[in-house]
Amino acid sequence: MIYQAFISTLIFLARTAPFVVISYLAIAYLSKRSYLAKALRIMAFSLKRLRLNSIAFTSFVLSFFNIVVAYTFLSQAWREKRVRDKDVIAISLLNSFPSVFSHLYSFYIPFVIPILGYLGLVYTALRFAVAMIKSFIGYLLLDKGDGLPEIERYEVRISENILKVLAVMFLTYFAIELLYSAGILNFFVKNLEFLPIDPSALTISIVAVFNLRSAIVLTAGFLEKGLSYKWALIGLLLGNVISFSVRSAKHSLPLHLSLFGKFGFKIVFINSILTLLLDVVIIAVLLMI
């Protein structure tokens, strides 16, 4: 049983690991040669047409590089009374697209898409669609201006460790194969058959609560076992819905509380609820298909 699981895992890695490694190395090369930074500066110049005010513009562009830097800048402006509470919330929504974009070359391209293939492209597109809708809402709520500030140079870093990523892939897939061989996953799936959601999709969503990378690899494993793209996608999106409060508490809330005080809770709450509602709408549409 262990030997068979080990062999299956090696076959899985042989198919996916080369794409993951090549993607990471390519992104690291583009970053080192400053090609990403140059592209973002060109993009920033074109944003003048949006008539963003000076603070919103700077925070928006910095979000492409580093979301922590962007929110640190925004909190400084807020503490200096240069931006109102309403506009801080609007800017935080506006920053949704660039903050997701900043994960494109560190998570989606080198990890999600190589492992999930076509489904990875669809999942990435949906995450971007949600972010774009939030950014558009933030743009509508924001007071406009004509300023185009000077943009400081920030280094784009690839923080991901290839060996760590491959280790997560290996251990997760190996565990999946062992659970399948032992009949544990089949037992779990059978006991969830009364729900109107595919048990495998529900399993993906539960794993996503604890670790999204593991959920991505788990999804690839279920696809190998015959799970449809529809239910695999629903499982990943449902994981976002179930875990939205956990992730907010673990990641967004500490940062925002440290930068904005108790006002940071309101910022995180509005962003999280809006993301939750949009994900629920997408899931509802998929269930009707």
Could you read off the pLDDT tens digit of each residue along the chain, which spans 289 residues? 777 778 877 887 777 777 767 766 665 666 565 665 566 566 666 666 777 777 888 788 778 876 777 888 898 889 888 899 999 999 999 999 988 887 887 789 888 998 899 999 999 999 999 999 999 999 999 887 655 544 434 344 444 456 766 776 677 678 767 776 776 655 555 555 555 777 788 888 888 866 788 889 889 989 988 899 999 999 999 887 766 555 555 557 667 877 888 898 899 889 888 988 999 899 999 988 8
Place of tokens 């529809």: 230
pTM of the predicted model, to two decimals? 0.73
Report the b/e string of 178-202 with b at 16+ CB within 10 A: bbbeeeebeeeeeebeeeeebbbbb
Q: What SS3 class is residue 194?
A: coil
Phi, psi of 52 (to 5 degrees): -70, 145
* Residue 248: both structure tokens together: 């907010």
Neighbours of 45 (CB within 10 A): 12
What secondary structure letter does DSSP report for 195?
A: S
DSSP three-state, residue 191: coil
